[in-house]
Structure 1
Amino acid sequence: MPLKLATWNINSVRLRINLVERFLEEYQPDVLCLQETKCPNDAFPSKAFRKAGYEHIAFHGQKGYHGVATVSRIPFSDEERRDFCEKGDTRHLAVTLDIDGAEGVRVHNFYVPAGGDEPDREVNEKFAHKLDFLTEMESWYKSHKAKKNARMILVGDLNVAPLEHDVWSHKQLLKVVSHTPIEVEHLARVMKAHDWVDVMRRFVPDEEKLYTWWSYRAKDWAKADKGRRLDHIWVTPALADTPTAMEVIRDARGWERSSDHAPVLATFDI
């Protein structure tokens, strides 16, 4: 069956619920994974999602910060919320989509710490947290690796732009958090831990620019086009041949009062 799955750092789900509703109506994903929902669980706008046809909802949120949510037209089960680094923040959510197959498809939704401004773990606790978070992701997925046929999709704002053309200027951003060599190395180890496949780069060659985030600081973000690819979609080897399409919905970055991230939409033939 075809599966349309989207990931989007929404930067407050309640503030931008009208944009989410617009996206769902125009692009009709089967599953939408949101990050930075900034919403406690008891205030999550479930009613709006159900009205839009997304009856299956899971969230992991807190007031004012972080938060992830997964909404779906496809039933899911086995919800999991892992507390990485034992910080008590809400940065991970996993569900299993009830898709053909005994084990379904496991979808992991992540919001990796941004890491602050200074790329030095000795002076910047936020950067240390980010590296520790990625290290724990690596260890956790190494423990999954025995399940070689596991059908898993990992999405989210991973806050690392790993490749040279994932940023507007490789040379100028080498010492800027999100593109430093140590972050890139940590993310590469996470990918290797379960032989994850980078779905987005299956459709856009490594030598071509590919962005999902443009800073609010730019007066004309589209003209300046100083972007970074911070949002990702990965699959395990068991699903490596299933992606059939991928699109960064750049237009959504230009919607009124938008998030600084654009949604990423991928289609799979499961």
Structure 2
Amino acid sequence: MTFKLATWNINSVRLREPIVLKLLAQESPDILCLQECKSPVEKIPLDGFRSLGYQHIVARGQKGYNGVAILSKLPLKDVGGVDYAALGHARHVAAQLENGVTIHNFYVPAGGDKPDRDINEKFGQKLDYLTEMRDAFHVDKPEKSILVGDLNIAPREDDVWNHKSLLKIVSHTPVEVDHLGAAQDAGGWVDITRQDIPQGQLYSWWSYRARDWDAADKGRRLDHIWATDDISNSGHSSHILRDARGWEKPSDHAPVFATFDL
């Protein structure tokens, strides 16, 4: 089985339904994982997605914030969602394909503005979330699995526009990178994007604050596709659809793609 998978923080699936439909029609991924849907599951606009062949959905939703969904042309089985750090947020959902591959869709907390848990509760929640992910992977090491989503951390120096300038900025601080690395190591996860594109600046997010995001190009790679080491060699054709950041009423994230032969 060969399938193309995409992950995209859509920043409101109802508000940005037109560009989701554009992506599905233009790129035709077999599976699209969305984060920050900002919608109860029953209000996700499924009719348009179904008209393009996406008959299967597994999701967790909330009104106005968070929310994760997996849209698929391929049959899916809902295999649960975990409320890491007991935040009461819809930030994780998992689904299994008929070939036994499990797909985990994550939306890790952003962490607020100050990288100090003593003065910023949200930063502490982010670190706790990552710690519980790590512990869960230690207890039940994943196999034949793919993990995608907005992990809200750019781990490598070339995953940000300026490493030194961002060392004290939430999403690239050493403590966050260490926590993400510990979770990755615990699960034996392989970064498929960097397996395919090992060198060079690579971004999936550009701030709305930039007057001309494209010219400024002050991006960060916050969105990831990982696979367990038992299937990581099956991943290929990774790319980030930068153009989508410039579509009408865009998300501040761009979709990330990979193809798997399993």
Q: TM-score, normalised by structure 1?
A: 0.95
Residue 102 of structure 2 aligns with an amino acid whose one-letter code is R
Unaligned runs of 5+ in 1: none
State percent identity of aligned pairs.
56
The alignment status of 1:46 with 2:38, answered yes or no, reads no
1:3 has 2:26 as partner: no
For residue 143 of structure 1, the aligned residue among 139, 145, 167 is 139
The alignment status of 1:171 with 2:174, answered yes or no, reads no
CA distance in 1, matches of 2:236, 2:222: 21
2:247 aligned with 1:255, yes or no?
yes
Q: Equivalents in 1 of 2:52, 2:82: separation in Å?
A: 28
Gaps of 5+ in 2: none
Aligned pair count reads 262
How do residues 43-82 of structure 1 correspond to structure 2 at under 5 angstroms?
Answer: 43-82=43-82
Name the SS for the 1:238 alignment partner: coil
Contact 1:49 1:55 (C-alpha < 8 Å) held by counterparts: yes
Question: Does the 8 Å CA contact 2:58/2:76 hold for their aligned counterparts?
Answer: no
Deviations 1:215-256 (A, max 9, x none): 000111011100000000000011111012111000100001
Contact 1:59-1:70 at 8 Å conserved across structures: yes
1:213 is displaced (CA, Å) by: 0.1
Name the SS for the 2:233 alignment partner.
coil
Structure 2 SS opposite 1:168: coil
CA distance in 1, matches of 2:62, 2:78: 21
Q: What is the RMSD computed on CA atoms of the aligned residues?
A: 0.9
Matches within 5 A, 1:1-270: 1-99=1-99, 104-145=100-141, 150-206=143-199, 208-270=200-262
Amino acid across the alignment from 1:197: V
Q: TM-score, normalised by structure 2?
A: 0.98
In 2 relative to 1, CA 78–57 (structure 1 residues): closer, same or farther, beyond 3 Å?
A: closer
Give the distance between the partners of 2:45 and 2:81, measured in 1 at CA: 19
Offset from partner CA, 1:38-75 (integer Å, 9 cap, x none): 00122111222111110011110101101000010110
Whether the 8 Å contact between 2:58 and 2:78 is mirrored in structure 1 is no
After the TM superposition, which parts of structure 1 deviate over 4 Å for at least 4 consecutive aligned residues? Answer: none
**Cα distance between partner residues in 1 of 2:248 and 2:46:** 23
Q: How many Å apart are 1:205 and its aligned residue?
A: 1.8
CA distance in 2, matches of 1:170, 1:194: 26
